[in-house]
Structure 1
Amino acid sequence: MFAITTRLFASKVAAPHAAAVATAAKFPTGMKISPYAMYIKENFKNDVNVKNTELMKDLSVKWKDMTTNEKNKYSQLSQKHNEKKMNDFLKLSTEEQSKLVNEAQEKKAEKAARRQAKERREKRKEVGRPTVPPSAYALFIKEKLSGGGVDVKDKMKEAVAEWKTLSDAQKKKFTDEAQKLKDAYHVTIEKWEAEKKEKTSK
């Protein structure tokens, strides 16, 4: 799909730049959006009274029941979106393209890491393993995200940026608290492991 789209736009880009693009190893992930994803994007509406998983399930059922003609609208929107993304990407310099590719790879890795961490937490919960305490950074972020008024994403960005500017003295409140939680965790986990070992030995 990417190769075909690249050829469609190659004629619109200056020859030297097109040659440089041709040598690019890959395109950043997330540039394409499927008709189904476009449908979700256009129709998903947050409802405080309904879980997101339920909303997604409902939309999925409706999508499956739609006719080909009804889905065609989202196929066209998807194609238009993807072509614009590709066209915009091809107009960038090689350096800018590489930067976008690297950023996309980092986001993909972070997403995978979060998914793996979630799976580990769920597995620990299943076996009753004590929860790993939060780090000083996590405690700081939690404090900053508490309350309301500002969009969570905006608050998160501000908190991340603020943490980077804090001195060790300013971080001490959170590092001390994190250390206390860590010490308590070690005591709890040792007790849990001892009890688990005792049960399995019976």
Structure 2
Amino acid sequence: MAPLGLMTAGASWLAKSFSVLQCLSAPYITPVKYLSSQASGPPKKPENGYLRFVLQQRPDITRQFPGIKTVEIIRKIAGQWRMLTPEQKKPFDEAAQQAREQFKIDLHRYQALLTTEQFQQETQEKKQRLAKKRSIIQKRELNTLGKPKRSRYPINMFVSEKFAEARGLTSQDKMKSVVQDWRNISLHQKQIYTQLAQDDKIRYKNEIRSWEEHMVEIGRPDLVREKILLTKSKPAAKAQAIKKGTKKVIDTVKKDTASKTVRSK
């Protein structure tokens, strides 16, 4: 059930991402200045100077370049922002500073109205959001560093092969039909994907070990499993012990030579 849950969550995430992109491509709408969509909700953290500039320039760019992609819009506006002088940026930064001060006042008023239980719930939700944000940042970093993809389950192998030709108009419908097909195929057919998953597990085991050893070499042991660190430390500890032993023998020989020299005199 775990693999199926992961795939369902993945499909849901794709659908949400598509909805976000649709919203970004919609006509520009002036956002609410401080509060969230819920009147009883917490005040919304204000935009910084750059984002205020983006919101101001976006309608103009959209009119000048009909049909332009959102990524290109942001790229053009970012270029315009870089060309502004400090004096030209000053109004946006000052507006952002005023909004931050008002946000602190609104937040204090909002928190004063919360019960102890509501405040604890808000604190817990904030921790969860921060943890999710850190997780996203870490995943991006790992992708940049080329961390190998995890091995897949047999059902994942089946879904990746059949999803493109699956029945249904939406991603969720396709996923449901593929999962249903997986349940209906014979054990002999499933064995093929089981073998593919076993081969993929070997692939991942070899690649992740090589990657982790490389991370240790470039000074990123924080990204490595503990057992890899222990394995890497054993040769170093052994070499250090040999070095100490050799030094001890040399020191002993020097002492014996010095003693013989003194006695001969």
Higher relative contact order (CA 8 A, sep 6+): 1
Is the radius of gyration larger for structure 1 or structure 2? 2
Report the TM-score range of the alignment, normalised by the length of the smaller protein: 0.3 to 0.5
- Relative to the length of structure 2, the TM-score reads 0.36
- Relative to the length of structure 1, the TM-score reads 0.45
